[in-house]
Amino acid sequence: MTNKISVSIWRGKSDGEYQTYEVELRENQTVLDIVTEVQRQHEPSLAYRFACRVGVCGSCAMTVNGVPRWTCRTHVNQVTKNNSLTIGPLRNLPVIKDLVVDMKPFFKKWQTAGASFTGGKTRHDPVATISSESPGRKAADAGIECINCAVCYSACDVVGWDDSYAGPAALNRIWTLVNDERQVNKRAVLDAAFADGGCGSCHSQGNCTRHCPVELSPSESIAALKRSAFMGLPKTGAVESNKIDTGADRES
């Protein structure tokens, strides 16, 4: 006897509806496997996005039982409720078709919030030597691994309520920039974070941190940005010139 699971998948644009498919349960099956099986066996016109299938690219994010997730890193048995599963497109972004959303607003806000690196050196200058132990580098490192999957953006209520809100990922990126010794004009970067739709709009509900698949904490980064309204730019620590960390002094 084969076990089946009942899977409801969003079909159409924002005015679409859920359709239900009976899908065979297999061992070690991910939600992405389910979507693929539905497309291969039941609904050839089903649109969805994925690339790496191993949690590297971040393109497979969807809403699974009401929560944004990377479907390739979500096992079916972790999330199934009463032998059924609901899979929809990411919240807070326009639906193009079925499970595919338009990521443009997400990237656009990232840019308008000023969340991209500007250095002051050219390729002819020596490479900056930054101590991995400096407070600035540590703070930047804590938030740097973002892969722009928009899971946090989709989990955030404020993004849904306030069109102008830059969102957790962009603000998290700004926090890494003001901690990066190589970033020029940090004051302007920080000021931009306090513009309309900036860090002041965050309600600290922490959905971004709760759902970020890389386990970053945009919510903490945003709190730190807010704090710098009183404390000023964070201390990044001095560049230790000519000292290259070879790892030799690291405990093995």
Partner 1 sequence: MNPLRSHKSYLAFVGHRLSGVALALFLPLHFLLLGTAINDADALQRALAFTDHPLVKVAEWGLVVLLTVHLLFGLRILALEMTSWPSRYDNRTSWVIPALVISLLAGVIFWLQS
Q: Does 79 bind ligand FES (CB under 6 A)?
A: no
Question: 208 touches which of ligand SF4, ligand FES, partner 1, none (CB within 5 to 8 A by kind)?
Answer: ligand SF4
CA of 146: how far to CAs of 34, 139, 140, 152, 215, in Å? 26, 14, 11, 10, 9
Is 230 a residue that touches partner 1 (CB under 8 A)? Answer: yes
Contact call for residue 132 and partner 1 (CB under 8 A):
no
Task: Quickly count helices (H) and strands (E) in the chain.
Answer: 10, 7
The residue within the footprint of partner 1, chosen from 204, 238, 243, 245 (CB under 8 A), is 204
59 contributes a contact to ligand FES by CB under 6 A = yes
Question: What pairing do the DSSP bridges indicate for beta strands 95-97 and 100-101?
Answer: antiparallel
Given 48, 58, 93, 221, the residue binding ligand FES (CB under 6 A): 58
Residue 72 binds ligand FES, judged by CB under 6 A: yes
For position 67 contacting partner 1 by CB under 8 A, the verdict is yes
Q: In Å, what is the CA distance from 165 to each residue of 64, 92, 161, 171, 187?
A: 24, 11, 9, 10, 20
Kindly report the backbone phi and psi dihedral angles of residue 4, in degrees, each rounded to the nearest multiple of 5, phi listed first: -120, 155
Asked whether position 76 contacts ligand SF4 by CB under 6 A, the answer is: no
Quote the least distance from Cβ 103 to ligand SF4, whole Å.
Answer: 10
Residue 180 touching partner 1 (CB under 8 A): no
Residue 101 CB coordination number (10 Å): 25
55-63, 81-89, 166-174, 244-252 -> range binding ligand FES (CB under 6 A): 55-63
Calpha distance 231→188 (Å, rounded): 16
Cα pseudo-dihedral 200, 187, 208, 99, rounded to 10 = 100
When asked if residue 155 is in the footprint of partner 1 (CB under 8 A), the reply is yes
Q: Which of 102, 78, 200, 212 is nearest to 153 (CA)?
A: 212
Q: What does the binding site for ligand SF4 look like in residue numbers (CB under 6 A)?
A: 58, 146-152, 155-156, 158, 168-169, 172, 202-208, 212, 214, 216, 218-219, 222
